Amino acid sequence: MIECQDLTKHFGAFQAVEGVTLDVPEGRVLALLGQNGAGKTTTVRMLTSILAPTRGWARVGGYDVVEHPNQVRASVGVLTEMHGLYARMTANEYLDFFAKIYGLSAETGKRRITELLEYFGLAQAANRRTGEYSKGMRQKLALARALIHEPLALLLDEPTSAMDPESAQLVRQEISRLKSSRRSIIICTHNLLEAEMLADRIAIIYRGRILLQGTLAELRRQLLGKPEYEVTFSAPVHLTGLEAVPGVEVVSASERSLRYRVESPDSVNPGLVRALVSQGWPVCAVQAVPHSLEQIYLKAMALAARGKL
Amino acid sequence: MNLREQLRLTWWVTLRELVDQLRDWRILLPMGTLILFFPYLMNYAALRSIDFVNQYGGNLIAERIVPFLLMVVGFFPVTVSLVVALEAFVGEKERGTLEPLLSSPLADWQMYVGKLLAGSLVPLAASYISMGLYLVGLLIQKIPFPPLDLLIQMLLLTAAQTVLMVSAAIIISTQSTSVRAANLLASFIVIPAALLIQGESALIFWGTNQVLWLAIVAVLIVTALVVRLGLAHFQREALIGREIDVLNLRWTLQLFWRRFTGGAHSLGEWYGKTLRATLFSMRFSVLITLLVGVFAIFATQLYANSWLGGFKLPEDKLSEALTQVQSSLLDGLPGSLSFGYIFGNNLRAEVLVLFFGVFSFGVGGLVIYLLNFALIGGVLSVVSWLGLSPWGIFLYGILPHGILELPSVILSTAAVLFIGLRLITPQKQSGLGETLVESLADWAQVSLGIAFPLLVLAALIETYLTPLLLIRFLTLP
């Protein structure tokens, strides 16, 4: 479990992180989104006991980050912004070194190294120096390092950056597997599609403050308002009288389509469709207008820049 | 986790570093060249120098050239491999490998000691191999070996200097934000180390083995203090948080001023609260300084008495010497030393204590202070030997101004010692630079608030009152 409340970090007069409150229970993934320099890395560093909070508290795996820094570090796996590989070491040596400093026995270490190298498709390159690795291979090895001690919590900064689609898929599968094995995971990413796919909750951080936090549906509702639907017609129609349908807020109407917002689609949509059909209008399809995380994120950033969020 | 397991983790850090170093041809090539070539060169230099000085009967110098060159042979590989220690932390930071290490459950000391060992082992091994080759060369060229105790001294000195230089380099590595900055700062290690070597060389040629042993002990103490300093100020946060090399003079001055004033709004408040609190915090330093001073006076007196006891001047010579001393004192005393001279002299002594103290964790300053107090013991011993009352000289010639001057020196030296103690004590809230600035502000508080005003009063008394009292004492029937 990862939890923090009012977590704050000031560097002199500069407020890097201000009052961040997060809760990531076991088996959940939180995506922390934000611009470069928004405070994501500082938050992660506080959660790994590298930086001491100026105010507030945080617990990772049940340990307080200030009181028990070594226990926190032992129970968390971190994928940092840079891979952090020693160029003159082989993958085997690199993972062996981290297995040892995480206190794994020789036998367990060996087993974990074999498992991880196999899983990430690096077994063939296990005895090559990491300096010779491609970007994607380095990223996979760094992720293997973060997982070597089977941590309770994972803090992953851009886990699939620089990876080819197959490798990225592999990593996403691994994150899903870890999630189902009751790990608490925070992903810092600019890949919004990935965040949408993996995260149970999303937090948007802007200039050190959490602007919004919730599930995708909650954020969608909060920022973009009521769900939006579109009706398409197979022949041109002249739409009239729709104002009379209760609960429907027309966004746009043309001869071939109708866009509207509705508070309770489950109860309103069937009645609306019946009304359209009863007018003799050839309804071809009714579908929800998709709002991606990208739209939500960009709206949030725009509002924040104008000081309206 | 027991100590053995903790040490094992430390060893993994060392081992990784060692493997990394030994795979880097940029380290191996110059090191290997130096190890193999330099001892040969020094052997040749030894042979030629011995031949040369022997032409002029300089056998003693010839004997000393051999151990001197042995020390030089051991010194050079350390300076070259210092680059490894200099980038121990900052290099990893630049390459992005530091954060995974900092995120690991390694304790700060495990990481620090691991790096220190890795930084020390290679240069030390290189030095010892070089020294070994040099000694083999001596055998081949049939040059007499240095005495065993001198040989042991050279080996110990090399080890102590290696650890001293490496630990200083690691401190630089933890405080720098780039390898380039760390390399530029390396001169702060190499130059003092070279001066140290020169001093040790003088001791070798001087031929005083006992003093050389003391020098070894001194180097070991300073080494231990430097290691302690590094450990005390090793902070994960500072390592990762410091991004830009900027000398922020404004911040430094503001910090100094804040600490110096302690938030006081009036002089009374400053004396009553700020200065009082500072003096209270340095009470142990004051006590240590006081004890060292008392020890210096009595130890010197005892030593001088035992030494002077062996020299018995005939009665008439003694009386003649006493008369000469008295007349020279009486002739020279009135108005011979101006207020400015006395005050300036004492002020210089206190500033010197600060200067030497800051660079040696207070130890250098304490040594200067100790010498000053030892002088009092020596003077009292000599006047006693001459037949004058030491108590009389003390009461009439030292106490009137000393009652102000001695507390001034004690407090000022204690403030310098306190700088050293704060530097080697872990400070949770402040880094190395911050601690140094704050400690200097504490010293300034004590010096400007108490020590210097006391020196002014003491100098006034010593200029105008002490000579009169001393004349009165010396002319007493």
Question: Tell me, what's the pLDDT at B242?
Answer: 60
- Tell if the CB–CB gap between A80 and B20 is shorter than 8 Å: no
Report residue B1's pLDDT band, with 50, 70 and 90 as the boundaries: confident
How confident is the model over B255-266, as a mean pLDDT? 91
Q: Which of B1, B104, B240 sits opposite A73 (nearest CB)?
A: B104
Nearest C-alpha neighbor of A173 from the set A143, A203, A152: A143
Report residue B386's pLDDT band, with 50, 70 and 90 as the boundaries: confident
Q: Which of A84, A97, A102 sits opposite B16 (nearest CB)?
A: A97
Smallest CA–CA distance from A148 into chain B, residue: B104
Nearest C-alpha neighbor of B254 from the set B1, B453, B437: B437
Q: Which of B98, B99, B107 sits opposite A70 (nearest CB)?
A: B107
pLDDT at B23 over 70: yes
Q: Give ∠ CA B68-B74-B78 in degrees, rounded to 5.
A: 135
Side-by-side strand order, sheet with A209-214: A76-79, A153-157, A184-188, A28-34, A201-206, A209-214
Number of Cβ atoms within 10 Å of the Cβ of A54: 15
How confident is the model over B84-106, as a mean pLDDT? 90
| Gap from A216 CA to chain B (nearest CA, Å) | 31
Task: Characterize B83-106 residue by residue with b for buried, 16 or more Cβ atoms within 10 angstroms of its Cβ, and e for exposed.
Answer: bbbbbbbbbbbbbebbbbbbbbbb
Question: Tell me, what's the pLDDT at B312?
Answer: 64
Report residue A28's pLDDT band, with 50, 70 and 90 as the boundaries: very high
Report percent pLDDT > 90 for chain B.
33
Which residues does residue B264 pair with via DSSP β-bridges, in sequence order?
Answer: none
Smallest CA–CA distance from B25 into chain A, residue: A88
Domain boundaries for CATH 3.40.50.300 within chain A: 2-214
pLDDT at B78 over 80: yes
How confident is the model over B394-414, as a mean pLDDT? 91
Each residue's pLDDT tens digit, B112-129: 999 999 999 989 999 999
pLDDT at B335 over 60: no
Q: Poorest-confidence range of A88-102, B76-90, B411-425, B454-468?
A: B76-90
Q: Is B102 on the interface with A (CB under 8 A)?
A: yes
B84 close to B21: Cβ distance less than 8 angstroms: yes
Helices (H), A126-264: 135-147, 165-180, 192-198, 216-224
- Tell if the CB–CB gap between A70 and B105 is shorter than 8 Å: yes
Each residue's pLDDT tens digit, B415-465: 999 998 888 877 766 777 888 899 999 999 999 999 999 999 999 998 888
| Gap from B2 CA to chain A (nearest CA, Å) | 12
pLDDT at A4 over 90: yes
Cα-to-chain-centroid distance, residue B308: 31
How confident is the model over B263-284, as a mean pLDDT? 92
pLDDT at B245 over 60: no
Q: Nearest 5°: phi and psi at B244?
A: -125, 140
Smallest CA–CA distance from A104 into chain B, residue: B9
- Tell if the CB–CB gap between A101 and B104 is shorter than 8 Å: yes
Each residue's pLDDT tens digit, B136-167: 999 998 888 888 888 998 999 899 989 999 99
Report residue A214's pLDDT band, with 50, 70 and 90 as the boundaries: very high
Q: How far apart, in whole angstroms, are the C-alpha atoms of residue B260 and residue B446?
A: 10
Domain ranges of chain B: 3-241, 249-474
- Tell if the CB–CB gap between A48 and B103 is shorter than 8 Å: yes
Each residue's pLDDT tens digit, A299-309: 999 999 998 87
Q: How far apart, in whole angstroms, are the C-alpha atoms of residue B56 and residue B49?
A: 11
How confident is the model over B210-223, as a mean pLDDT? 84
User: DSSP of B234-293, one letter per residue?
Assistant: --HHHHHH-------HHHHHHHHHHHHHTT-SSHHHIIIIIIHHHHHHTHHHHHHHHHHH
Report percent pLDDT > 70 for chain A.
100
Instruction: Tell me the chain B residues in contact with residue A52 when contact means C-beta distances shorter than 8 Å.
Output: 237
pTM over 0.90: no
A180 close to A27: Cβ distance less than 8 angstroms: yes
How confident is the model over B292-314, as a mean pLDDT? 80
Superfamily designation of domain A226-288: Alpha-L RNA-binding motif (3.30.70.1560)
- Tell if the CB–CB gap between B97 and A103 is shorter than 8 Å: no
Smallest CA–CA distance from A42 into chain B, residue: B241
For residue B49, the number of C-alpha atoms closer than 13 Å in the C-beta half-sphere is 17
Question: Tell me, what's the pLDDT at A68?
Answer: 94
Instruction: Tell me the chain A residues in contact with residue B16 when contact means C-beta distances shorter than 8 Å.
Output: 86, 89, 97
Q: Is A30 helix (H, G, I), strand (E, B) or coil?
A: strand
Pairing of strands A184-188, A153-157: parallel
Q: Mutate which of A54, A63, A75, A86 to test chain B, going by most B C-beta atoms within 10 A?
A: A86
Q: Which of B1, B9, B20 sits opposite A86 (nearest CB)?
A: B20
Report residue A64's pLDDT band, with 50, 70 and 90 as the boundaries: very high
- Tell if the CB–CB gap between A76 and B103 is shorter than 8 Å: yes
Q: How far apart, in whole angstroms, are the C-alpha atoms of residue B348 and residue B312?
A: 37
Q: How far apart, in whole angstroms, are the C-alpha atoms of residue B295 and residue B292?
A: 5
Average model confidence (pLDDT) across chain A: 91
pLDDT at A85 over 90: yes
How confident is the model over A266-292, as a mean pLDDT? 89
Smallest CA–CA distance from A74 into chain B, residue: B105
Average model confidence (pLDDT) across chain B: 85
Q: If you average pLDDT over each of A198-212, B49-63, B146-160, which comes out highest?
A: A198-212
- Chains A, B: CB pairs < 8 Å: 74
How confident is the model over B210-232, as a mean pLDDT? 85
Question: Tell me, what's the pLDDT at B476?
Answer: 67
- The contact set of A with B (CB < 8 A) is 11, 45, 48-52, 70-71, 73-74, 76, 78, 80-89, 93, 97-98, 100-103, 142, 145
Question: Tell me, what's the pLDDT at B134?
Answer: 93
pLDDT at B321 over 80: no
Question: Tell me, what's the pLDDT at A65?
Answer: 95
B162 close to B197: Cβ distance less than 8 angstroms: no
How confident is the model over B201-211, as a mean pLDDT? 77
Query: Does A2-214 carry CATH code 3.30.70.270?
Result: no
Instruction: Tell me the chain A residues in contact with residue B89 when contact means C-beta distances shorter than 8 Å.
Output: none
Q: Give ∠ CA B103-B108-B112 in degrees, rounded to 5.
A: 110
Q: Which amino acid is at A206?
A: Y
Each residue's pLDDT tens digit, B27-42: 888 888 888 888 999 8
Q: Poorest-confidence range of B86-100, B105-119, B149-163, B297-311?
A: B297-311
Cα-to-chain-centroid distance, residue A123: 29
pLDDT at A297 over 80: yes
Residues 243-302 of B with CB under 8 A from A: none
pLDDT at B329 over 70: no
Q: How far apart, in whole angstroms, are the C-alpha atoms of residue B95 and residue A83?
A: 9
Nearest C-alpha neighbor of A90 from the set A62, A122, A57: A122
Report residue B383's pLDDT band, with 50, 70 and 90 as the boundaries: confident
Provide the 8-state DSSP code for A90. Answer: B
- Tell if the CB–CB gap between A98 and B104 is shorter than 8 Å: yes
pLDDT at B333 over 70: no
How confident is the model over B399-411, as a mean pLDDT? 93
Q: How far apart, in whole angstroms, are the C-alpha atoms of residue B419 and residue B397?
A: 33
- Reported ipTM: the value is 0.84
- Tell if the CB–CB gap between A88 and B99 is shorter than 8 Å: no
Question: Tell me, what's the pLDDT at A34?
Answer: 93
Q: Mutate which of B5, B95, B103 to test chain A, going by most A C-beta atoms within 10 A?
A: B103
Question: Tell me, what's the pLDDT at A181?
Answer: 86
Q: Which of B16, B20, B105 sits opposite A102 (nearest CB)?
A: B105
pLDDT at B325 over 70: no
Q: Is B27 on the interface with A (CB under 8 A)?
A: no
Smallest CA–CA distance from A49 into chain B, residue: B103
How confident is the model over B356-366, as a mean pLDDT? 82
How confident is the model over A21-42, as a mean pLDDT? 93
Provide the 8-state DSSP code for A117. Answer: H
How confident is the model over B396-401, as a mean pLDDT? 88
Task: Characterize B209-245 residue by residue with b for buried, 16 or more Cβ atoms within 10 angstroms of its Cβ, and e for exposed.
Answer: eeebeebbebbbebbbbbbbbbbbbbbbbbbbbbeee
Instruction: Tell me the chain A residues in contact with residue B237 when contact means C-beta distances shorter than 8 Å.
Output: 50-52
Instruction: Tell me the chain B residues in contact with residue A54 when contact means C-beta distances shorter than 8 Å.
Output: none
Smallest CA–CA distance from B11 into chain A, residue: A101
- Tell if the CB–CB gap between B105 and A80 is shorter than 8 Å: no
Report residue B310's pLDDT band, with 50, 70 and 90 as the boundaries: low
